[in-house]
Amino acid sequence: MFLIGLTGGIASGKSTVARRWVEHGAIEIDADQLARDVVAPGTKGLSEIASTFGPTILNSDGSLDRAKLGAIIFNDEVKRLALNAIVHPLVQEKTKELLNALPSDAIAIYNVPLLVEAKVDYDFDLVVTVEAPEEEQVNRLTTIRGLAKEDALARIRSQAKPVERAAAADIILNSNQDINLLLKDADELWRVIEKKASEKIYG
């Protein structure tokens, strides 16, 4: 297997790159989706969150009130770390299960926004970060996702700094450009990935 760690700040364009590579044949494991799965109703993760943050963090149907939780953790580092201590180990456990189930000739993408923060240390063959300037991230979060500017900035600044992600990465993709140019860069990098994967898997 050839394993790619794909990271980047919120609204940086990493999911656009991941989707493109899936179109080319990669298998994606999405850490954000796993983070939702491990706190679904009836899970150990949700029970621990309710114990830590109180029952008011739940909706009337017993599901997690993500908006309420987000408002708490993106402005309180101590509480954010407490949440991460619950969720990150569960996500990593699930990730390892999924990776172990993949075929030996797979090219896998682990799409993990918090690669630096969660100290993800899998045996990656390549680590790629997708970066955009903060003003562009804010623009995307306010116009596309409907967040207030203050909320957008809080979410961006709760994550690792671009320089920290860059230090952990082998390659940096710039998404401060037309999407077609980003996809062109992703396609060019995919050709390199295919070559490296073939050399590793088939010798």
| Whether the predicted pLDDT of 176 surpasses 90 | no
- Dist CA 125 CA 127 (whole Å): 7
List beta partners, residue 2: 107
Average pLDDT in the 118-134 region?
Answer: 94
φ/ψ of residue 112, rounded to 5:
-135, 100
Going across the sheet that includes 171-174, the strands are: 27-30, 107-111, 2-8, 126-131, 171-174
Residues in the chain: 203
Residue 60 pLDDT grade (very low, low, confident, very high; cuts 50, 70, 90): very high
For residues 74 and 185, the model is more confident at 185
Inter-residue contact 171 to 126 (CB < 8 Å): yes
Q: pTM surpassing 0.85? A: yes
State residue 138's pLDDT score: 96
Q: Could you tell me the domains of the chain?
A: 2-202 (3.40.50.300)
Quick check: 58 pLDDT over 90? Answer: yes
DSSP state of 172: E
Average pLDDT over residues 15-30: 97
CA dist., res. 64 & res. 68, Å (int): 9
The answer, yes or no, to whether residue 31 has pLDDT greater than 90, is: yes
Question: What 3-state DSSP class applies to 54?
Answer: coil
Taking 90 as the threshold, does the pLDDT of residue 178 lie above it? Answer: no
Return the structure tokens found at 195: 């070559």
Q: Are 78 and 70 in contact (CB under 8 A)?
A: no
pLDDT for residue 203: 81
Q: How far is CA 54 from CA 61, 64, 77, 97, in A?
A: 15, 11, 17, 30
| pLDDT tens sequence across 64-111 | 999 999 889 988 889 999 999 999 999 999 999 999 999 999 999 999
Reported as a pLDDT band with limits 50, 70 and 90, residue 177 is confident
pLDDT at 118 over 90: no
Whole-number pLDDT of residue 95:
95
> Is the confidence at residue 23, as pLDDT, over 90?
yes
What is the band of 130 on the pLDDT scale with cuts at 50, 70, 90? Answer: very high
